[in-house]
Amino acid sequence: MADLRVTLAGVEFKNPVIPASGTYGYGREYECLYPLSRLGGISVKGTTLHERGGNIPPRIAETPCGMLNSVGLQNGGAEKFIKYELPNLAAKDTRIIANIAGSTVEECAELAAMLNGTAVDMIELNISCPNVKQGGAAFGTDCTVAGAVTKAVREASDKPLMVKLSPNVTSIVDIAKSVEAGGADAVSLINTLLGMRIDIKTRRPVLHNNVGGLSGPAVFPVAVRMVWQVANAVRIPVCGMGGVSTAEDAIEIMMAGASAVQVGAAIFRDPYAPVKIIDGINEWCDQNGVKSVSEIVGTVKPY
Ligand SMILES: Cc1cc2nc3c(=O)[nH]c(=O)nc-3n(C[C@H](O)[C@H](O)[C@H](O)COP(=O)(O)O)c2cc1C
C-alpha cells in the first residue's frame, strides 16, 4: 500500500482524488454506494451568495468523448449550503472544498467571508463566470480582474484559497501568475471549454443557452498541456482536472505537475470512478515501486 497522501495549499488530503464541482452535488447521491471518507476531498457544487435556478433546459448534451453543459450554477445559495449541506459533509471524514462564484468582486468577497469559521477546509474560487460590472466578460479572462477578485477574496477569507482557472483564454500562464500575485494559495484547472452543437433537423442549438462548457475525455490533452504550462510558471501548487477518467489519466496529469486531481464528467458514466481511480493509483504505485504518490508530481521529462 503506497502512501497516497498529498498536500495542497497547506491542507493534507488522504489521497489525491477529489470529485469536481458540479458533478457530485454535495455527495448525498453517492453515500449509499461507498463511504465518502474514501475520497481525498469533495469540491461541492458551485455556491453563490443567493439561490440560483440555473439556465433553461436542455442544458446537458452528450458529445463524442465528452459532454456539453450550461447548468448555469443552479444552487440553493450560501446560507442553505452552510445550514443544510455543510453539517452532513463535515461528518464524512473527507476534505471539504467550497466552490464559490459571484457576479461582482464584492459578492465573491462577501460569500468567502460567510465561510470563515465553518467546517470548510478550502475555498475554490471559480473565476469562469461573468463579471456584471465589467460588461459580462468572465473574471478569469483578464489578468487585472482575475488578480483583483483573488485579492478581495484572499483579504475576506481565513481559509486556504485555490483559484479555478478558465481555459478559454489566450495565455493561461499569465492568468495563473496574476492570481498567484493576488494571493492564491493554489490554482485548479481546467474549467470547461466553451463549445456548441446544433441539431441539423431543427437547426436549433442542442442547448437552450446556445453555447455551453465542454468536458470529459475530449478535453484531457488540453488539460494536461495547461497544467504542465502553469505548474512550470508558478510557485503555488496546482490541482489538475479536465477529462480525468482513469488512474492512468490521474497519474499522467500529476506527472504534468498536478499535486491533486479532480474527476468530473467521468462520474456521470460511472459513479464509482473516483474510488476506482484511487485504487488504480495505489496499484500503479505498488507495481512501479513508488512509495509515495507525491513523488510523481511534475516528473515528466520534456524533450
Ligand atoms: C454538469 C457540470 C456542472 C459543473 N458545475 C461547475 C460549478 O458549479 N463550478 C465549477 O467551478 N465548475 C463546474 N463544472 C466544471 C467541472 O468542475 C470541471 O472543471 C470540468 O467539467 C472539467 O473536468 P471533467 O472533464 O473531468 O468534467 C461543471 C461541470 C459539469 C460537467
53 belongs to a structural domain: no
Helix count (H) and strand count (E) of the chain? 9, 16
235 belongs to a structural domain: yes
What are the backbone dihedrals phi and psi of residue 296, each rounded to the nearest 5 degrees, phi first?
Answer: -90, -10
Read off the pLDDT of residues 98-118 as tens digits, 9 standing for 90 and up: 999 999 999 999 999 999 999
* pLDDT at residue 232, as a whole number: 98
* pLDDT at residue 132, as a whole number: 81
Atom 21 (ligand 1) nearest CA: 215
61 belongs to a structural domain: no
Residue-averaged pLDDT of the chain: 97
Task: Please count the structural domains in the chain.
Answer: 1
Is ligand 1 within 6 A of the CB of residue 159? no
pLDDT over 80 (residue 192)? yes
Read off the pLDDT of residues 154-179 as tens digits, 9 standing for 90 and up: 999 999 999 999 999 999 999 999 99
* pLDDT at residue 135, as a whole number: 78
- Grid cell 511534475 is found at 298
Is ligand 1 within 6 A of the CB of residue 131? no
Is ligand 1 within 6 A of the CB of residue 73? yes
* pLDDT at residue 136, as a whole number: 81
62 belongs to a structural domain: no
Least confident of 67-81, 126-140, 251-265, 277-291: 126-140
C-beta neighbour count of 32 within 10 angstroms: 6
Estimate the share of the chain in helix, then strand, then coil, as percent rounded to the nearest 5: 35, 20, 45
* pLDDT at residue 193, as a whole number: 97
* pLDDT at residue 133, as a whole number: 81
* pLDDT at residue 157, as a whole number: 98
Average pLDDT over residues 197-214: 97
Is ligand 1 within 6 A of the CB of residue 192? yes
56 belongs to a structural domain: no
With cut-offs at 50, 70 and 90, classify the pLDDT of residue 298.
very high
278 belongs to a structural domain: yes
37 belongs to a structural domain: yes
Segments forming the whole domain that contains residue 291: 6-48+73-197+213-296
207 belongs to a structural domain: no
* pLDDT at residue 40, as a whole number: 98
**Ligand 1, atom nearest to 60 Cα:** 1
Domain containing residue 249: CATH number:
3.20.20.70
Ligand 1 center–CA 127 separation, angstroms: 12
The kind and range of the H/E element at 287 are helix 273-287
Read off the pLDDT of residues 114-156 as tens digits, 9 standing for 90 and up: 999 999 999 999 999 888 887 788 999 999 999 999 999 999 9
* pLDDT at residue 134, as a whole number: 76
Entry pTM:
0.98
The kind and range of the H/E element at 61 are strand 60-63
pLDDT over 90 (residue 43)? yes
Atom 15 (ligand 1) nearest CA: 191
Of 32, 65, 108, 129, catalytic: 129
